[in-house]
Chain A
Amino acid sequence: MATATRSKPEHVSLTTQRKPVTLLEAIREGLWEEMERDPSVFLMGEDIGAYGGAFKVTEGMLDAFGSLRVVDTPISEIGFTGAAAGAAHMGMRPVVEMQFIDFIACAYDMITNYVATSRYRGSGAVPMVIRGPSGGYVRGGPFHSQNPEAAFFHTPGLKIVYPATAYDAKGLIKAAIRDDDPVLFFEHKWLYRRPQLREVLPEEDYVVPIGKARTHREGTDLTIVTYAALVHKSAEAAEVLEKEDGLSVEIIDLRTLLPLDDEAIVASVKKTNRLLIVHEDTRTGGIAGEIAMRVSEKAFEWLDAPIQRVTAIDAPIPYSPPLEDYFLPQTDDIVKAARWLANY
């Protein structure tokens, strides 16, 4: 069935070279290793073959795995998402790329009505991954910068993953591919090639479990719960708060949005008694609201201050730099909100 693995093109970097890799390279490695490990894994998407994808995540993979496993598609988000579901029914493990995650909206019907309900309806598991570049801070305008997680967060039957580090990105893409449920895997394009995020990854096969948050930074005065790009802006804010205010900030990186790791959030809140939730997505109906509610249900007694959130404003994402800067949460916003919480 599957084409034999051919050799890897020279210019494609993989961990076996023991070099620190970017988040983007980490994802490529994860995909690559899963393709080698399991012949039922295959890729589908626009321009992912010879071109290697708009961001070059799948660079070199066509040469290595052939066109039956690296399938270039027409511009048909409903079509290839549905086709992935069909292949998954037949025992394959398709990984679908949205050229920009914004276009996942085109496949919303297929994902929410078909894919997410399949197991429940008795049509069986749909082990597929939908991955793609998400997020702003790149002046991409309204259709190349979105964070559509909340729409899917509200859809039972899906899992949602949004990594913030290279290590997690590789471990989580592997976990997503091995998972028996449909997983939406968001990749923040502002993190893709950030040199600060380069790290040397373990040589051996590893996965990062879906559904488990991670403590990005230990602290005692205040908890910031966040994910993706804002883990790093929150870390910057924590540095400022430590230096200027002597505050010890704990940062919880959710890594998986669905299912949410309540336990990790609640444990941290019980330790610091103050909670700030930070996300890049817009405010109303955003994930912060759900987290706040769960903490209020499970740890109200431990809170010394009202829960606060720093998010994008309730608008479409604009293009012009001052507008995008205003729309998106900035480090300074996190500092201000955390400072207020700490002083409450």
Chain B
Amino acid sequence: MANRTPTKRAAAIPHGLDREQLLDMYRLVRLTRALEEKLELLFKQSKVIGGLFRSLGQEGESVASAYALRRRDDGTGDVLSPLIRNLGSMLTVGARPDEVVRQYMAKGDSPARGKELNIHFTDYQRGFIGQISPLGDLVPVMAGVTLTFKQRGEDRVGMVYIGDGATSTGAFHEGINLAAVQKCPLVVIVENNGWAYSTPTRMQTAAKSFTDKAAGYGVAADRVDGNDMLAVYGAAKAAVDRARQGGGVTLIQVDTYRRKGHAQHDAHGYMDPAEIDRWATSNDPIDRYVATLTENGWAQAKELATIDARIDRELDEMIAGVEPSPLPDAEEARTDVVSGGPVAAPWYRLSPPDPTKA
């Protein structure tokens, strides 16, 4: 990336954003990539329990879309439900990097207390609901979340992410259709990253675009270059504003590309290395954003480098702090199944065993 110092007067920033917000978005997208890189390192050291999913190459759309939400930490803001590759969105609405690392390392003090994994965690105060693995299920859930906003007359908005693959699920159709007929204040971001595991998008849908589907549900649609952060922000902001003003559901198709395998264990032999390389060298969302910032005179390369350095330092410190955290106590497996105390321990687990009271 060329280090261009702005010489002329800075161009006007679009979408009502200010310089501080632009730099904040930069920090978030850099943080997303850096955090995933750290997680990859931890994965290679076998410190991550279970799988690791990267969003390399699509961090921009995650951050920029979530940035359009009204973020609060008192349970009155908008609500978002991410997907596996939306670490950026989670960080944007206030999830902390240490929470994410604790989740991946299955620590007892992780937000899901070791019971759930990766970014599957929830905080209603900050406004995010953890997804579950069965794809599509959070679309109906977010229809209900936003229906409630309407019922209570709150001017809050929901945003739910769905992969190109997961739009094939029944849950997706039922959820968006319900939200559509109820005119729920919901923004549905369809992330078209070219792949669903090894399956290319053309094998998920015969439709020319996902915006075509929006017409079928009778909802507004937009389609945007997912690696152009300001364009994504603009589309998301318009959809969020529309939802807040009672305009109902918008489906936004975000075109981007997954530059890794489905997960760390996937050698992705089905992908064309040249294509990955093309996206990496000429269509990286962060590179493009940096160019936009510097070329328009909105930021200087030096400022951005300072942000980068701080992120690296803070992540290293954070990880050093998280690593010694203990795993949960085994007995915690029995808690929170239902209200009113833990479920029974089997008699052969009691110490000393008292089989007569089995």
Contacts and interface: CB of A to CB of B under 8 A. Distances in A.
A47 B337 contact: no
B225 interface: no
A144 B117 CA distance: 11
A323 B349 contact: no
B134 interface: yes
Contact of B114 (A46, A47, A100, A319): A319
B344 to A, nearest CB: 7
Interface residues of B, number: 48
Given A51-B198, A140-B50, A311-B346, A319 B117 contact: yes
Q: Chain B: interface secondary structure?
A: loop
Interface string A315-328: 11011111111110
Contacts of A72: 199, 203
Interface of B: 49-50, 106-108, 112, 114-117, 120, 132-136, 165-166, 168-171, 196-199, 203-205, 270, 327-334, 337, 343-346, 348-349, 353, 355, 358
A110 B106 CA distance: 35
Given A46-B199, A336-B353, A313 B345 contact: yes
A325 B328 CA distance: 11
A323 B168 contact: no
Interface stretch (A73-81, A116-124, A165-173, A192-200): A73-81
Measured as residues with beta carbon below 8 angstroms from the partner, the interface class of chain A is 35 or more
Contact of B170 (A76, A100, A308): A76
26 contacts: A46-B196, A47-B197, A47-B199, A72-B203, A74-B199, A75-B169, A75-B204, A102-B134, A103-B134, A105-B134, A106-B170, A106-B171, A142-B133, A143-B134, A144-B133, A310-B346, A313-B345, A314-B337, A314-B344, A319-B50, A321-B327, A324-B333, A326-B349, A327-B333, A336-B353, A337-B348
A326 B358 CA distance: 18
Contacts of A143: 132-134
A89 interface: no
B203 to A, nearest CB: 6
Contact of A102 (B133, B197, B331): B133
Given A51-B198, A75-B135, 15 more contacts: A50-B198, A51-B199, A103-B134, A106-B170, A310-B348, A311-B346, A313-B343, A313-B345, A314-B337, A314-B343, A320-B106, A320-B107, A322-B327, A322-B333, A323-B333
